[in-house]
């Protein structure tokens, strides 16, 4: 288990989410803002190039954000999309 995974798990243990939705939200909230934004866009079906364009960053940086989030959450792109779905966050404007 990596340090970041341990930090996420420890943080969840302290906050004791009451539902799967709360747990998903807590995991997403533990990510830095830009990583979370990239994950949210990926969950909406955007490609790395589209994510980069929407976030005003390079495609390489978009990939780095997604890769870092995937490492921290210990899940792939599809699992992260499911996590976002489970979090049931309000639609972005």
Q: Tell me, what CATH number does 52's domain have?
A: 1.10.10.10
> What is the model's pLDDT at position 14?
60
Residue 93 lies in a domain: no
**Which one, of 91, 90, 88, lies nearest residue 23 by Cα?**
88
Q: Read off the pLDDT of residues 5-32 as tens digits, 9 standing for 90 and up.
A: 767 766 665 655 479 999 999 999 999 9
Assess whether pLDDT exceeds 80 at residue 4: no
SS3 string of 13-30?
Answer: HHHCCCCHHHHHHHHHHC
Q: Which tokens sit at 33?
A: 């803002």
Tell me the pTM.
0.79
Q: How far apart are CA 5 and CA 7, in angstroms?
A: 5
- Quote the percentage of the chain above a pLDDT of 90: 73
Give the number of other Cβ atoms within 10 Å of residue 9's Cβ. 13
> What is the model's pLDDT at position 93?
45
Provide the domain count of the chain. 1
Residue 10 lies in a domain: yes
Residue 92 lies in a domain: no
């Amino acid at each position: 288990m990596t340090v970041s995974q341990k930090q996420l798990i420890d943080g969840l243990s302290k906050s004791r989410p009451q539902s799967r939705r709360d747990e998903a939200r807590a995991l997403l909230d533990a990510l830095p803002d830009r990583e979370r934004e990239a994950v949210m866009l990926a969950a909406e079906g955007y490609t790395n190039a589209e994510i980069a364009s929407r976030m005003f960053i390079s495609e390489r940086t978009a990939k780095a954000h997604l890769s870092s989030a995937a490492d921290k959450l210990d899940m792939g792109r599809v699992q992260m999309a499911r996590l976002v779905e489970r979090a049931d966050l309000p639609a972005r404007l």
